[in-house]
Copies of this chain bind each other. A is one copy, B any other.
Amino acid sequence: MINIAILGFGVVGAGVAEVIAMNSDSIAQHLGEELKVKHILDIRDFPDSPFADLITHESSDVFSDPEVKVVVETIGGAKIAYEFTKQALSAGKSVVTSNKELVATHGVELMELAKANGCQYLYEAAVGGGIPIIRPLHRCLAANKILRIAGIVNGTTNYILTNMRTAGLSYDEALKQAQAKGYAEQNPSADVDGIDAQRKLSILSSIALNGDYVAPEEINTTGISDITLEDIDFATKIDCSVKLLAIFSNMDENKPSAFVAPFFVAKKSQLAPVEGVFNAVLVKGNAVGTTMYYGRGAGKLPTASAVVGDVLEASRAPEANAYTKNWHKCDGRVTAEFDDIKTNIIVRAKAGSMENLNDKFSTYNTAAVWDGNDCCAVIVYDILHKDIEKLVSSVDGKWLHYME
């Protein structure tokens, strides 16, 4: 029998206990022995939970119990979760987490600590919820140079953007609905300002660069709070959807780049039909070409699915190397300055200004996408971020990133 402990009995922590109970037979078949939740550490009591008698308030019950081989950290945040993770790893217990903030912030140190103590620090659930993405990226695509990642990695913002389009709601109305449905927090900043996506992109980029750690602070991030219903309606006109994308690129000889921003995504893209709380990540490797991973990026049981998958991995081979190469801090920033990253954008300006648009952007490759009574718009290819604002204001226009 393998004994584990769960730290933090919130939505995901409860999901982990539930999945282990629900699929105990199948999990035992995988593992060759039973998987048992021995302790659940939380400051609260849960008298009505079927797992009430596993609750403890004493962290020493977990960390001093030699029978506990794997610790699930579903506390969230980078404070108490950080301290507890260090304690568990120092005690030689593998830690499995869904905590993107902690992995993105302290991953380098925690992976090192796991290695030093002959155990694992696993985080498949930290990106894409239940969608297998961390292990496929690092293990299945290990033979590739990763050229590009483009992901819808935040379900809350995708739900809001989808709802603005389908129900014709303003951003504020759509946010309120998302909050009412429990898809957005009362303080929605981490989602709508792109911070959650930034952390996930930090994780994906660090893996794609074979462990060169890309800190969240390196990743220029724009959220969705400035997206208007007019943007959404215009996207529909030009056969696009508006999506908040996390972009990593390592296509040429320059530095790799990473940023988070709202995009017009062309309907023909595999990302365009990804609606509501679903997530999807496109990964392009230099051998495999483009692959995509799609599913529920959040939620109790989907996230628990990924956590428990990692628990099985850690139980089977506690002393093996973790499934990703450990990260390491590099001197200075790993990725290019935002100003120096090239991108494609769609610029729109008032009706009748197509000539002016073509004129002002004449040194770029452009393509007209709309010339109507309401406005006109062009795609501008390969423009540096630092050149965007000045040029766009010279035509009194608005712009968003564009992905084909």
- Chain A residues in the interface with B (C-beta under 8 A): 15, 19-20, 22-23, 26-27, 29-30, 124, 130-132, 135-136, 139-145, 210-211, 270, 273, 285-296, 299, 301-302, 304-309, 311-313, 316-317, 320-321, 325
Is the pair B294, A132 in contact by a Cβ cutoff of 8 Å? no
CB contact between A302 and one of B15, B131, B132, B288 (< 8 Å): that residue? B288
Known: A273-B273, A287-B23, A287-B130. A144 touches B293 (CB 8 A): no
Given contacts A132-B141, A293-B293, 16 further A-B contacts (CB under 8 A): A22-B286, A23-B144, A23-B287, A26-B145, A26-B210, A29-B211, A30-B142, A136-B140, A140-B306, A143-B312, A288-B302, A289-B302, A291-B296, A292-B295, A316-B321, A317-B317
Is the pair A288, B29 in contact by a Cβ cutoff of 8 Å? no
Closest residue of B by beta carbon distance from A325: B30
Q: How far is the CA of A299 from the CA of B296 in the complex (A)?
A: 30
Known: A131-B291, A291-B131, A321-B316. A304 touches B23 (CB 8 A): no
CB contact between A143 and one of B142, B289, B304, B325 (< 8 Å): that residue? B304
Q: What's the least CB distance linking A391 to chain B, in Å?
A: 35
Contact sample, A vs B, 8 pairs, CB 8 Å cutoff: A23-B143, A29-B211, A30-B142, A135-B136, A143-B307, A290-B295, A292-B293, A292-B294
Q: How far is the CA of A286 from the CA of B296 in the complex (A)?
A: 12
Is the pair A139, B313 in contact by a Cβ cutoff of 8 Å? yes
- Tell me the number of copies of this protein: 2
Residues of chain B with a CB closer than 8 A to A210's CB = 26, 29-30
Q: In the complex, which of the residues A142, A143, A309 has the most CB atoms of chain B within 10 Å of its own CB atom?
A: A143
Is the pair B130, A132 in contact by a Cβ cutoff of 8 Å? no
Q: How far is the CA of A399 from the CA of B27 in the complex (A)?
A: 40
Q: How far is the CA of A89 from the CA of B248 in the complex (A)?
A: 40
Is the pair B292, A305 in contact by a Cβ cutoff of 8 Å? no
Is the pair A286, B130 in contact by a Cβ cutoff of 8 Å? no
Is the pair B19, A287 in contact by a Cβ cutoff of 8 Å? yes
Residues of chain B with a CB closer than 8 A to A305's CB = 141, 143-144, 285, 287-288
Q: How far is the CA of A306 from the CA of B136 in the complex (A)?
A: 10
Q: How far is the CA of A33 from the CA of B321 in the complex (A)?
A: 15
Is the pair B317, A289 in contact by a Cβ cutoff of 8 Å? no
Q: How far is the CA of A316 from the CA of B320 in the complex (A)?
A: 9
Residues of chain B with a CB closer than 8 A to A132's CB = 132, 136, 139-141, 291, 293
Q: How far is the CA of A48 from the CA of B306 in the complex (A)?
A: 47
Q: How far is the CA of A305 from the CA of B136 in the complex (A)?
A: 12
Q: In the complex, which of the residues A23, A142, A302, A304 has the most CB atoms of chain B within 10 Å of its own CB atom?
A: A142
Residues of chain B with a CB closer than 8 A to A308's CB = 142-143, 287
